[in-house]
Amino acid sequence: MGENLLQPSHFTLGGYFDVGLLKYLCFVLLLCLYLLIIGANLLLILVICVNRTLHEPMYLFLLSLFVNELYGSSSLFPLLLVQVLSDSHTVSAPLCLLQIFVIYSYGGVEFFTLGIMSYDRYLAICCPLQYHRRLWSGKAVRLAALCWFIFFITVSVLVAFLSSLQLCGSVVSKVYCDYHSVVKLSCQDSLPGNMYGLLFFSVSVSCPLCLIIFTYSRIFRVCFSGSEQSRQKAVATCTPHLASLLNFTCGATFEVLQSRFNMNSLPSTLRIFLSLYFLTCPPIFNPVMYGLKLSKIRLSCRNLLSHPRPDSDTPSSKNGSRVRFC
């Protein structure tokens, strides 16, 4: 009885508001940002793939990170660009569930990859003589693949539960589909889904966070007990990773707080910006940060864009495969 009313075929995204002709300016700015994200990440993906000297664990983890940036941003920008110009701001239920799947798997893969990268930095700084024995290219590929596989499975369960709920409403109070916002529309007991969502969030955060705390406690101990030169090298090699970690963590924290607590006292423009931060800033920040900070990537980009001779190679290839601070 009334079952069709409980399963909406479309959701209305209630986070949008009328900005008049400014929507065309917003569309252009968002389109330029999306094209910049695609270009920057694709360039570094291509550089790492074609340059064999970059087929080392650290760069393979970066490759997974850049692929994930494209994956996550593509879950948001195409729909966002359509909705900015639209007057109805509706999205079909299957597309809404797909967006939730991609966004949550993107977040999990991002944080876990950053956690694994902290272990890589720990080995390079604290155990340089054992680096290639404890972490090599094949193991790095398997770790990255395992990370993607785990979150594809766990998020699939999350979305499967969401699709089985009977809903009493169809208005999602965001500019994109969000798990918690859809669950709040449920007519039935959503405790199992909330418990699984809490478990998913706890594991996704606690596991990489414990690894990051452990590795950086060891790294800082080495830095403070070593020479000034070793301290400077450690700071140089950890700065991009720490910056990426802080950038994503802040954005994800904003989104979690906004989903769990009432922030209607904040201006609507600020709420939209905070909700989009972790999907827009890391995808452009990470390739720029690593492209500028890591000399091997910077030189490889320069050689690729300047069409080097087939027999030419980067200067770093003459130094062998020893572990070095970048």
Record the pTM. 0.86
Which domain covers residue 194, as residue numbers?
A: 42-308
Write down the pLDDT at residue 325: 38
CATH number of the domain within which 232 lies: 1.20.1070.10
Enumerate long-range contacts of 9-12, CB under 8 Å, 24 or more apart.
9/92, 9/93, 10/90, 10/91, 10/92, 10/93, 10/170, 11/90, 11/91, 11/92, 11/93, 11/96, 11/170, 11/171, 11/172, 11/177, 11/182, 12/88, 12/89, 12/90, 12/170, 12/171, 12/172
Would 2 be classed as within a structural domain? Answer: no
Would 28 be classed as within a structural domain? Answer: no
Write down the pLDDT at residue 190: 64
The whole-chain average pLDDT of the chain stands at: 84
Whether residue 44 is predicted with pLDDT greater than 90 in this model: the reply is yes
pLDDT tens-digit map of 56-110? 999 999 999 999 999 999 999 999 999 998 888 899 999 999 999 999 999 999 9
Would 272 be classed as within a structural domain? Answer: yes
Would 34 be classed as within a structural domain? Answer: no
Closest CA to 4 of 167, 161, 160, 163: 167
Total domains, the chain: 1
Q: What is the mean pLDDT of residues 123-144?
A: 91
Would 35 be classed as within a structural domain? Answer: no
Would 297 be classed as within a structural domain? Answer: yes
